[in-house]
Structure 1
Amino acid sequence: MVLTIKNKVFNRTTSRVLKKSALSQNEPLRKHFNSVSSTADFISSESTKVEEWWASSRFKNVTRPYAAIDVVKHRGSLPANTSIYPSSYQARKLFNLLEENFQNGTPLHTLGVIDPVQMSQLARCENIKVAYISGWACSSTLVGSTNEVSPDFGDYPYDTVPNQVERIFKAQQLHDRKAFLEASVKGSTPVDYLKPIIADADMGHGGPTTVMKVAKLFAEKGAAAIHLEDQMVGGKRCGHLSGAVLVPTATHLMRLISTRFQWDIMGVENLAIARTDSCNGKLLSSSSDPRDHEFIKGIIRESVVPWSEKLIEMEGKNVPNASISAMEQEWYHENELFTFDEALAKQLTAGEYETYKEKKEDLKIKLGRTYLSLREMKNLAQIVAPSKKVIFDWDAPRTKEGYYMFKGCIEAAVRRSLVFAPYSDMIWLETKTPDLEQARSFSSEIHRFFPATKLVYNLSPSFNWSAHGFDDKALKTFIWDLAKEGFTLQLVSLAGLHSDGVSFWELANSFQNDGMKAYVEQVQRREKESNCDVLTHQLWSGAEYVDSLMKVVQNGASSQTLGTSGDNFTETQF
């Protein structure tokens, strides 16, 4: 009874002590919110901290359309420094690498990885400083909750790539701990397994709040940077497929702002890459943004039945698909497509068209813009040639879904990138061929307005590199030549996928007839000769690291019986 009473007394006392301790720890927060004025003081203080953070060199070239107080009001009552995200540390590492290489005109080049094995081998390459995770690779090899592999249409669950990032980042952390323990015992320098991860966020998978959730997932799961492309949700395609649908410039700008706002709320320094597919894009989801008007194409014939109307009519009559396809080709053959300026060149005299172009440039300068809306361009044409009726119809060629025809070109990519640049950390130009001259012209235009903007280039396996006139010398120097033009970050997006495919195909093809001879010749001997650490896969997986953990928690006991490196440890054969 006495013991019970003492325990009760002890429990009550302990409870009071713990409660008092908790109240003491929360005292600064409690004091902030016991009145309206103290809440305002807290918001003011935190806003000042955010402004000081934004004034750091990290954000010297970043524009935000919102204020620090907007961030603080949406954070809640916990100060930002109560949550520390490893991805933000990795982002600082990435930022410094980019700054150094940009200043030196050297590349930060890497390969896309699809699993922890490839990540660990990449990390052992001293001159490869970052890792890349592709949405295409995730779509075709690892699709989270659905387990449905498919082409890169961005139609998988939006946590798919963030979950792959988490898988790779956790593997990085394990190998980092393993290497650090080994270095601490041997007195050596550990391999840097913590290569900052750049990941594919596709088109953000939805509206502003969805984009914010996706950005949050990436930051939570370990991505130092993500890239967002200006394609439409539901109309997304791999950048090297036809049929991609672009969104208005303003829509993609919203995605970049949403991403930055989410990360500001979290207090992280992760990097946002703005990718544009407008160099190759042929469709536009909406004409709502006047910045896109100069690139929307229409027809110059009057009283033409719109293609979408003809299509609906044929579908209502159950016309066979083959006939519809033939009619579509015939319609677009009869109704040639032009931008508004191209349409004017066809309908005005040479002198009138030159006058129009001069007035157009003058008006842009007067308005302080790089663009004119269709309405403004039509007004100028009317002034230049008042007696002529200019025909231009961009609605007639629209698709059944309502998409406009778009003139994808380098000028469109430049225009969009100039809008995106202040709100992003890097600009990615997606191309359909590896073209140094095209890259140089793009870089020149961007850097004329934003000299500090770093550029990104996809060294895509979709290109038949041997068919583009590269000899061995040009292939070897291409990455370094691009870097001199400001394309600091360069990546072979699907390198992991292709290397995995070709190496395993060669092994399987030989193994079916040569058995273990094929395995030893094509795998084991090559691992040993090239110093590939997966040769001893138990050690690679961290068996010795786990042994060390067990010795600590067991005070060294059972190391002979439970240790993984005992008499039966087969890797002593190597």
Structure 2
Amino acid sequence: MGRRFSRISRYPKPKDVEVEEFVNAQAERVAEWWKTDRFKNIKRPYTPLDVVKHRGSLGDDVVYASSIQAKRLFEVLEDKFKNKLPVHTLGVIDPVQMSQLARCDDIEVAYVSGWACSSTMVGSTNEVSPDFGDYPYDTVPNQVERIFKGQQMHDKKQLLQYFESGDGSKRVDYLKPIIADADMGHGGTTTVMKLAKLFAEKGAAGIHLEDQLHGGKRCGHLGGAVIVPTSTHISRLVATRLQWDIMGTENLVIARTDSCNAKLISSNVDPRDHEHIQGTINENVKPWSDILSELELGNAAAAKITTAESNWYKENKLYTFEEAAKEQLTDSKFRDFKEQWEEAVNQSDKKYLSISELRTLVRSSNNGSDIVFNWDAPRTKEGFYMFKGGMKPAIQRSLAYSPYADLLWLETKTPDLKQAQSFSRDIHQNYPDAKLVYNLSPSFNWSAHGFNEKQLQSFIWDLAREGFVLQLVSLAGLHSDASSFWNLAKRYQKEGMKAYVDEVQKVEKENGCDVLTHQQWSGAEYVDSVMQVVQNGSSSQTLSTKGESFTESQF
């Protein structure tokens, strides 16, 4: 970052440079950095001085490889977005898959999934589990590091081959930027910042953060997910940006919303969420939490509690405040309430009304009388509020996140082009330069959604025309790994080496898969070259890729 701007000193020493002079110069460079095209659409609620005074004396001299990768990622996304083309990729689960993905010229980035890390567990606990975000928060960053180091190894190996052969015609872009899953940030502000720091240190060019609750996290295609207030997720995005500003990196953050499918929200603290929180309109209803507490004190069996819970929610239908008003007001009074609501929103910069403001409008339309609406009674054992998910809250939240994020991700239940078009239209009316993200999830039964072959083949490009520039099959690596190995295993048990030759070696030869010669693929020749440099050329008899013992000469 600072390479583009003049420097006065590396860092202030007690007797050499005045600290104030150093800090002011650093702050000026940060201010100029923020004016570049990279950050033209980014809002920060803090100043350059806030960044500099938290950096330490090294200032902007430290350069991170992930920031170099992030610049590449930004340029690719900018170009594709302007031309309504996709940056589409597949989730990889190890350096092997990464090296094969890299050989595809039209796939320009790599993706690392938290779901895949959780279910194949590369973390310190070695626990394998579904995607509840309950693994150590360094799990995905460490997987990123593993893959990024694999990228660097293959890149170094390839450059050496060029010097030895002079043939650059088959050059592969092994250093494709990595985008990684940061889940919900794994905690409060300091944890989010530490996680962002880890990703930048480990090699991720970009990450995505979803608006789910730490501790209530679920895969976006599981039930029971709990979202956080809009303000809480904005704080996560700001914390991430601040951390990277302190580090002087240009990494990208993607704001994902899971509110389209959500049924629970952790708190009602943010008035932007109020119109989507549900309550009951039954007067004097006993809260479910009170009933649950009494059942538990009476040592009720689990089956009895389950039945009681089911019965409570059947007897107490849930409504948003708007729905509650429609149930209890006459048609004319409800129309008046809606008109006042629309007028108040149009006259306000904030574009939303709190529950207290909505109650005021109801009283104005209802001759001073209130309506019954109790959003506390249905709260869960954990204290979560009921939430009516859908496209409206997803759009509202994405609009709130947009100034703080580089891209916006809408998590959906199904692959639906019309839904995507609706989302894109509403976002781009307010933020025409907003880049969108789509999860081409393996959780969808693609064959069951009415696609013909032509529509399946064009779906990615159709989405790109709507501004969904980044698209990914998040668990492609996991599924392809399972499928190919299952084919091998089920044949190998009966057919032995015929199965291995048919399912692996023949396929590798026919497809030109470079892992066929796995010793060379791993970089053995690169290490040989390093050994020759160290030994000044006298190690020819101990080279690993020479002589009769080197079996890959058979190929």
Tell me the CA shift for residue 476 of structure 1: 0.5
- Give the percent of matched residue pairs that are identical in Structure 1 and Structure 2: 64
2:67 is aligned with what amino acid?
A: S
Is 1:55 aligned with 2:48? Answer: no
Query: What residue number does 2:133 align with?
Result: 154
Q: Is the 8 A contact 2:184 2:209 kept in 1?
A: yes
Counterpart contact for 1:109–1:128, Cα < 8 Å = yes
- Distance of aligned partners of 1:561 and 1:34 in 2 relative to their CA distance in 1, 3 Å threshold: closer
Q: Distance in 2 between matches of 1:242 and 1:501?
A: 25
Pairing 1:55-134 to 2, within 5 Å after superposition: 55-81=35-61, 83-134=62-113
* CA distance, structure 2, for counterparts of residue 217 and residue 501 of structure 1: 30
Q: Following the alignment from structure 1 to structure 2, what is the Cα–Cα distance between the partners of residues 439 and 530?
A: 36
Whether the 8 Å contact between 1:245 and 1:285 is mirrored in structure 2 is yes
Which secondary structure state, in structure 2, belongs to the residue aligned with residue 491 of structure 1? strand
Q: Distance in 2 between matches of 1:110 and 1:563?
A: 35
Equivalent residue number for residue 297 of structure 2: 316
In 2: Cα distance, 1:247 partner to 1:267 partner:
29
What is the deviation of 1:29? Answer: 5.9
Structure 2: unaligned runs, 5 residues or longer: 1-7
Shift, 1:77, TM fit? 1.4
Q: How many Å separate the matches in 1 of 2:459 and 2:260? A: 21
Aligned to 1:166: 145
Task: Name whichever structure is richer in helix by fraction.
Answer: 1
Shift of 1:448: 0.5
Aligned residues: 547
Listed as ranges, the matches of 1:322-361 within 5 Å are 322-361=303-342
For the 8 Å contact 1:143–1:156, the answer to whether it is kept is no
Q: CA deviation at 1:558?
A: 2.4
In structure 2, distance between residues paired with 1:97 and 1:121 = 20
Instruction: State whether structure 2 residue 173 is matched by structure 1 residue 192.
Output: yes
Where structure 1 has 5 or more consecutive residues not aligned to the other structure, the ranges are 1-26
Q: What is the CA-CA distance between 1:563 and the residue it aligns to?
A: 3.8
Q: Report the CA distance shift for 1:89/1:31 in structure 2 as closer, same or farther (over 3 A).
A: closer
In structure 1, distance between residues paired with 2:371 and 2:319:
13
Out of 457, 461, 465, which is 1:480 matched to?
A: 461
Aligned to 1:471: 452
Instruction: Please say if residues 32 and 41 of structure 1, whose CA atoms lie closer than 8 Å, have aligned partners that are also in contact.
Output: no
Q: Secondary structure of 1:100's partner?
A: helix
Residue of structure 1 aligned with 2:19, choices 28, 36, 39? 39
CA contact (8 A) 1:32 1:42 kept: no
Name the SS of the counterpart of 2:468 in structure 1: coil
Alpha-carbon displacement from aligned partner over 1:357-411 (angstroms, at most 9, x marks no partner): 1111111122222210000000000000025441000000000110000010001
SS in 2 for 1:80: coil
Counterparts of 1:362-441 in structure 2 under 5 Å? 362-386=343-367, 388-441=369-422
1:414-441, Cα deviation, whole Å (9 max, x unpaired): 0000010000100000001000000000
Indicate the residue corresponding to 2:222 in structure 1: 241
- Structure 1 571/387 Cα, relative in aligned 2: closer, same or farther at 3 Å? same
Structure 2 length normalisation: TM-score?
0.97
Matched, 1:272 2:231: no
1:136 and 2:115 aligned: yes
Residue of structure 2 in register with 1:218 after alignment: 199
How far apart in 1 are the matches of 2:387 and 2:97? 39
Q: Deviations over 1:48-79 (max 9, x none)?
A: 00000000110011110000000001001112
Conserved 8 A contact 2:9-2:22: no
CA distance in 1, matches of 2:98, 2:445: 25
CA contact (8 A) 1:112 1:495 kept: yes
Q: CA deviation at 1:31?
A: 5.8
What SS class does the counterpart of residue 87 from structure 1 fall into? Answer: helix
Provide the rounded CA distance (Å) in 2 between the counterparts of 1:362 and 1:244: 34
What TM-score comes out, normalization by structure 1 length?
0.94
Amino acid at match of 1:211: V
Distance 1:541 1:32 in 2: 45
Q: What CA RMSD, in Å, does the superposition of the two structures yield over aligned residues?
A: 1.4
Task: Indicate the SS of the match to 1:442.
Answer: helix
